[in-house]
């Protein structure tokens, strides 16, 4: 691949885009540019590498794009040897195109043949041999499709499979078809490469930081700084060794976690079962899952049977999930939309049953392999995290460039000064370059991470784990935090509060315990409509369903062995589970029959319901039971079966904070194939049965945590799938909505053929019941923004579609989002981010994974130490971890600022020392550099970040901009004061009677050098005190005992060096023996004065001294969109307009002709 002739020339008449123009790669957000190796360019680069002693190769290693441009020329995409990819955030990546000879002739198409379907053809070349052309980026394989004329993600070949197509693959594939697909899809392995120690060493040494260190060491050795150079070399070598150990350790850990290789059983098209390695699995393989379960090596759709699966590794959800058979429908299959029928890679199947007549095990069809699986995408997100677009990190890089400019100017000054002294050319070059090593501190990025490391350790001690350290500083800027309700704000378990049974005359009397219900469909529905399973004789499932089943006193039984006995007992139907009523002695004389569950449709957050199909003994009759949100269940029932007081009753119970579920049923034709019946057939024309009320208590820690966040001016939002009235009640109970604050409901009617969509704001009934509506509205407007909006998922979707101009206003004031699906939760997070909010999300279940990933800061309440669903995982099962996390994050960010300012000032103070001494015809000596850099600055920087967070969460958030006026102004003023302090010491020394001018140029002790060394030594110490921030986000300095003791020790040492260094210290540091004790005391006084002035200047800057300069210009509106919008709404006299339908623009109503 290093010559122009390495590509095939015959392209079967293929046309390609013009060379050099970027092409958008289908099924990805990347621009692609194609390049082809040119032989003479390749040889020219090799020659340049030899002549430059490898410098060109080093540049190519740092900037691979330059290597491509130097060795290649633009070409059509079909001829490419190398591609340059530009991703969605603008980063460029270089990948090589791989060509493999597959077999003689043409590859078999993937999927069922269709006319003119581009996805069926994978072949680019068709000559005497067949070649497959692809590239791999971040673990994903992109293959060339000739009719699409582009490289496409290999999953596109199966993306339009329907559920029926998936079921068709349970017959199995032949060996030839599987081999063909294996070449296309590649091996089924999530390969995290573990590089050899030698390769890691080379890559680490070639890091720009270590290259800079190596060049600096060579420079120092040429300048006879042998001891300092040796120490830096040893420290760098140790740093490399530690870094190599950590990188390899993490690689091995991730490799072992990611790679799942085992033997599995698949079915061939002949009907025979064969044991193969999981590496050889391809989409379309029929996978046999044993009854005892297995660790899934791929993503697979369950086509026969049921599986109990532990998905905690992916979602953090500790409750096992029941997976049921994929429905036989002509609908495009999607693993995300069919989660309850999909087994994901890396999850543990605990139990499988229901496949075939024997009833043992289950059958699934492989749908994704390798990095295309859910686990693969999560591993990829760990290996290739999204760039952290945080201002603090952007400004740090810009400031390093600014220091580079200062170094360049300093080098010019040094060059001019030294040139006037007629020094040798070697000395001129070395001294000028030495300035660069002083001004640009290579340890700055490492020093800034120490605060994050300390914060991580403190969080870990409290049970909060972080897998993305950069997110910790981002958390400090969170302005709104979204919380799931059930299991997050409220307890996971629920207690049954009562049952209301519906009848022809409406609702009956409230029954406190379901077991006291009369025999009938309501009691049978409560006992049967669930997905509870038995594991080792113990019921396992959703806590709500467990409590519901327990309240009926019915007993769960599952088939044993082949299950034929139970199947025969219930009319020959394949039985999944049996619910048996308690003995008649306990329940009275009324006769109750056992019900066998033969089909389950598990709960879906998007559908807001679940259903089961059951048969009675002997298979005499079959019934379908439905359970879900009352609004959804009522919409699926016959209108005459829903009591007229349904809405008022539901509103009454929901307002009390109860979790309300509705149940329904309908008879099913017992002679139908109940195992193949479709969900859409079951869940319609139901008979309404009644309501089940469950009490969901708010966790005792929730109210306090919300109170702390409100005092800190942090906005809190509830996002739940529960009823809007229940959610509002919980919001009031936990303090999100104050007792003196009102709730306004936002309702949006969707667009229909007869009516245009409308938007309505309605005040809660409690607020209007005791007052006149006009009086309430007037008070609402007069109080400004003291109200909260509440909206349901349906209204939120309609608002996004039909009223986008009102969406920002509604988002700004909405505190309760109810009946939200997982996708809507994710959309909400993204919409808030569009308003420039820094969004946090806290949840505990699989339904929150999308929102946790989309949020700037995601906190998962899980027992696992690390959840790949979010950067933070808390073993604390309540939201008290959130204020603690924010306090630690703010402390980390403030400390990072302090470390940044300290390291910048350290390098600039040393820069001033060197320039003063160059001007005075002397230098800083070897031992002085060593003492300053290693014993003073390094130790101070390491322990400075140990200070913990303040106890209280303050309303103000710490700044994130390093290039702001207070930060740059502070650095500049302190630099000027330090320069004046050093220069003042030198001028005082030169004015003394005993001063002896320096006549020699070279490495000899001098008064100027000694004075500057004393002055700068104090400055390195007291600047650490000056820039260390305490209130309001961090504990005062004296709480950091180690840091305080170190400062006192270093101060005492420096005072000793000034007052009475002794012979050894004088010789070691090449100090001039100043006999005038008054001058030494004067230096101490000058240092103390310097400290006092710097300290008070920093206090004034913190109090906003430099901000007064902003008053000279016209006041600018906030850069944050939500702040500008909030200011506008608070001054609005009529927002929101109550009980006033707002029409939608751009919609027409079709009138009947």
Query: By the 8 A CB rule, do 846 and 315 touch?
Result: yes
Environment class of residue 964 by beta-carbon count within 10 Å: exposed (0-12), middle (13-18) or buried (19+)?
Answer: middle
Of 2, 159, 153, 18, nearest to 68 (Cα)? 2
What b-and-e string marks burial along 1053-1076, b requiring 16 or more CB atoms within 10 Å of the CB? Answer: bbbebbeebeeeeeeebbbbebee
Pairing state of beta strands 299-304 and 342-343?
antiparallel
Ranges of H-type helices in 421-563: 425-439, 444-461, 470-475, 521-528, 543-552
For residue 12, the Cα-to-chain-centroid distance in whole angstroms is 45
Return the SS3 of 187: coil
Is residue 489 within 8 Å of residue 734, measured between CB atoms? yes
Tokens of 1107: 């901000």
Q: Classify residue 1070 as left (phi > 0), alpha (psi -120 to 50) or beta.
A: left
Q: Is 9 exposed, middle or buried (0-12, 13-18, 19+ CB in 10 A)?
A: exposed
Q: Could you check whether the bond before residue 772 is cis, i.e. omega within 30 degrees of 0? A: no
Strand pairing category for 715-719 and 814-818? parallel
Q: Please, what is the end-to-end C-alpha distance for the chain in angstroms?
A: 70
Q: Residue 962 in contact with residue 395, Cβ under 8 Å?
A: yes
If you count them, how many residues does the chain have? Answer: 1153
Least Cα distance to 532 among 622, 603, 583 occurs for 603
Tokens of 1014: 């004393």
Helix (H) or strand (E) holding 827, with range, is helix 822-834
Cα distance between residue 369 and residue 363, in whole Å: 17
How far is CA 154 from each of CA 11, 110, 176, 305, 338, rounded to the nearest angstrom?
21, 11, 19, 29, 21
Give the span between the Cα atoms of 101 and 99, in whole angstroms: 7
Catalytic residue among 146, 484, 542, 856, which?
A: 484
Residue 348 β-bridge partners: 295, 310
Cis bond before residue 1049 (omega within 30° of 0): no
State the Cα–Cα distance between residues 877 and 463, nearest whole angstrom.
10
Backbone angles phi and psi of 133, in degrees to 5 = -120, 125
Q: Specify the DSSP element, H or E, that contains 871.
A: none
CB 1069 within 8 Å of CB 925: yes
Instruction: Write the CA distances from 849 to 88, 468, 858, integer angstroms.
Output: 22, 16, 9
Structure tokens at 950: 């303040």
Contact criterion met (CB below 8 Å) for 490 and 698? yes
The rounded distance, in Å, linking the Cα atoms of 1073 and 1062 is: 9
In sequence order, the β-bridge partners of residue 626 are 611, 664
Q: Find where tokens 């710490």 sit.
A: 958
CA dihedral in degrees (806, 807, 810, 813; nearest 10)? -130
In three-state secondary structure terms, 466 is: strand
Neighbours of 507 (CB within 10 A): 16
Instruction: Look up 562 and say whether it is catalytic.
Output: no
Query: Both tokens of residue 913?
Result: 């020392």
**Strand residue runs (E) in 606-655:** 609-616, 622-628
Q: Which residues are catalytic?
A: 484
């Amino acid at each position: 691949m290093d010559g122009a002739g390495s590509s095939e020339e015959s392209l079967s008449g293929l046309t390609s885009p013009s060379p050099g123009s970027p092409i958008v790669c289908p099924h990805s957000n990347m621009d692609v540019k194609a390049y082809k190796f040119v032989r003479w360019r390749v040889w020219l680069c090799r020659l340049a590498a030899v002549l430059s002693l490898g410098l060109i190769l080093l540049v190519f290693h740092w900037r691979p794009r330059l290597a491509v441009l130097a060795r290649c020329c633009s070409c059509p995409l079909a001829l490419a040897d190398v591609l340059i990819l530009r991703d969605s955030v603008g980063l460029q990546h270089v990948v090589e195109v791989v060509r493999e000879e597959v077999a003689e002739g043409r590859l078999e198409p993937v999927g069922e043949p269709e006319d003119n379907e581009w996805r069926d053809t994978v072949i680019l070349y068709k000559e005497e041999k067949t070649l497959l052309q692809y590239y791999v980026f971040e673990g994903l394989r992109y293959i060339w499709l000739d009719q699409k004329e582009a490289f496409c993600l290999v999953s596109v070949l199966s993306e339009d499979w329907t559920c029926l197509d998936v079921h068709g693959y349970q017959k199995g594939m032949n060996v030839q078809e599987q081999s063909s697909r294996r070449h296309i899809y590649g091996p089924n392995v999530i390969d995290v490469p573990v590089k050899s120690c030698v390769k890691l060493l080379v890559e680490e040494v070639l890091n720009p930081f270590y290259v800079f260190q190596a060049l600096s060491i060579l420079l120092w050795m040429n300048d006879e700084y042998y001891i300092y150079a040796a120490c830096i070399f040893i420290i760098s070598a140790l740093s490399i060794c530690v870094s190599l150990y950590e990188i390899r350790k993490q690689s091995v850990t991730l490799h072992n976690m990611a790679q799942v290789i085992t033997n599995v059983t698949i079915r061939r098209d002949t009907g025979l079962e064969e044991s193969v390695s999981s590496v050889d699995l391809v989409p379309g393989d029929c996978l046999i899952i044993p009854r005892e379960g297995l660790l899934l090596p791929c993503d697979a759709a369950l086509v026969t049977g049921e599986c109990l699966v532990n998905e905690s590794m992916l979602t953090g959800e500790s409750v096992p999930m029941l997976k049921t058979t994929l429905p036989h429908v002509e609908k495009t299959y999607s693993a995300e939309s069919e989660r309850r029928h999909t087994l994901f890679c890396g999850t543990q199947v605990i139990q499988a049953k229901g496949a075939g007549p024997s009833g043992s095990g289950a059958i699934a069809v492989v749908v994704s392999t390798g990095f295309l699986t859910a686990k693969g995408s999560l591993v990829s997100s760990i290996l290739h995290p999204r760039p952290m677009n945080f201002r603090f990190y952007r400004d740090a890089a810009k400031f390093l460039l600014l220091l580079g400019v200062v170094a360049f100017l300093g080098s010019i000054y040094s060059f001019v000064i030294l040139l006037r002294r007629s020094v040798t050319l070697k000395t001129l070059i070395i001294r000028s370059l030495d300035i660069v090593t002083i001004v640009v501190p290579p340890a700055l990025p490492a020093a800034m991470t120490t605060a994050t490391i300390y914060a991580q350790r403190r969080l870990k001690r409290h049970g909060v784990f972080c897998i993305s350290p950069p997110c910790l500083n981002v958390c400090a800027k969170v302005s709104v935090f979204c919380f799931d309700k059930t299991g997050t704000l409220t307890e996971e378990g629920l207690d049954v509060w009562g049952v209301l049974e519906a009848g022809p005359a409406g609702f009956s009397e409230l029954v406190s315990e379901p077991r006291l219900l009369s025999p009938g469909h309501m009691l049978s529905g409560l006992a049967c409509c669930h997905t509870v399973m038995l594991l080792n004789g113990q019921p396992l499932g959703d806590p709500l369903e467990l409590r519901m089943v327990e309240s009926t006193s019915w007993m769960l039984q599952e088939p044993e062995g082949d299950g034929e006995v139970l199947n025969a007992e219930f009319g020959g139907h394949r039985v999944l589970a049996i619910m048996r009523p308690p003995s008649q002695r306990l329940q009275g004389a009324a006769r109750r029959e056992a019900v066998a569950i033969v089909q389950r449709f598990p709960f879906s957050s998007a559908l807001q319901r679940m259903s089961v199909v059951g048969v009675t003994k002997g298979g005499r009759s079959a019934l379908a039971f439905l359970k879900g949100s009352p609004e959804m269940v009522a919409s699926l029932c016959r209108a005459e079966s829903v009591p007229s007081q349904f809405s008022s009753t539901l509103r009454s119970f929901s307002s009390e904070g109860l979790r309300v579920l509705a149940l329904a049923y309908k008879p099913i034709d017992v002679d139908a194939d109940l195992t193949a019946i479709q969900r859409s057939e079951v869940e319609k024309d139901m008979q309404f049965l009644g309501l089940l009320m469950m009490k969901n208590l708010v966790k005792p820690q929730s109210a306090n945590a919300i109170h702390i966040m409100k005092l800190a001016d942090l906005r809190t939002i509830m996002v739940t799938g529960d009823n809007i009235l229940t959610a509002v009640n919980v919001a009031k109970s936990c303090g999100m909505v104050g007792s003196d604050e009102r709730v306004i409901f936002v309702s949006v009617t969707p667009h229909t053929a007869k009516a245009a969509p409308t938007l309505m704001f309605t005040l809660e009934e409690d607020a209007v019941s005791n007052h006149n509506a006009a009086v309430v509205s007037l008070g609402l407007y007069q109080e400004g923004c003291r109200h909260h909006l509440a909206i349901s998922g349906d209204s939120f979707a309609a608002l996004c579609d039909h009223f986008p101009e009102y969406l920002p206003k509604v988002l700004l004031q909405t505190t309760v989002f109810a009946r939200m699906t997982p996708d809507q939760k994710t959309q909400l997070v993204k919409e808030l981010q569009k308003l420039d909010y820094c969004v946090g999300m806290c949840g505990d279940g699989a339904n929150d994974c999308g929102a946790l990933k989309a949020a700037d800061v995601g906190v998962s309440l899980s027992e696992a130490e690390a959840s790949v669903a979010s950067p933070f995982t808390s073993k604390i099962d309540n939201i008290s971890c959130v204020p603690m996390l924010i306090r630690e994050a703010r402390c980390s960010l403030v400390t990072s600022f302090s470390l940044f300012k300290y390291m910048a000032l350290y390098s600039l103070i040393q820069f001033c020392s060197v320039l003063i001494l160059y001007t005075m015809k002397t230098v800083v000596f070897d031992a002085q550099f060593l003492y300053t850099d290693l014993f003073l600055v390094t130790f101070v920087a390491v322990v400075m970040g140990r200070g913990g967070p303040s106890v209280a969460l303050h309303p103000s958030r710490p700044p994130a901009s390093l290039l702001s006026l207070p930060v740059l102004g502070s650095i500049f003023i302190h630099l000027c004061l330090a320069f004046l302090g050093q220069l003042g010491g030198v001028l005082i020394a030169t004015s003394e009677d005993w001063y002896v001018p320096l006549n020699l140029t070279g490495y000899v002790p001098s008064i100027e050098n000694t004075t500057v060394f004393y002055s700068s030594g104090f400055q390195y110490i007291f600047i650490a005190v000056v820039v260390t921030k305490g209130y309001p986000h961090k504990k005062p300095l004296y709480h950091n005992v180690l840091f305080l003791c170190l400062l006192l020790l270093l101060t005492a040492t420096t005072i000793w060096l000034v007052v009475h260094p002794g012979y050894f210290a004088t010789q070691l540091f090449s100090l001039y023996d100043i006999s005038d004790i008054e001058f030494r005391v004067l230096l101490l006084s000058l240092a103390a004065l310097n400290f006092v002035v710097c300290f008070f200047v920093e206090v004034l800057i913190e109090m906003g001294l430099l901000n007064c300069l902003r008053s000279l210009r016209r006041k600018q509106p906030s850069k944050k969109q939500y702040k500008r919008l909030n200011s506008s709404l608070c001054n609005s006299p009529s927002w929101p307009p109550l009980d006033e339908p707002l029409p939608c623009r751009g919609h027409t109503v079709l009138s009947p002709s």
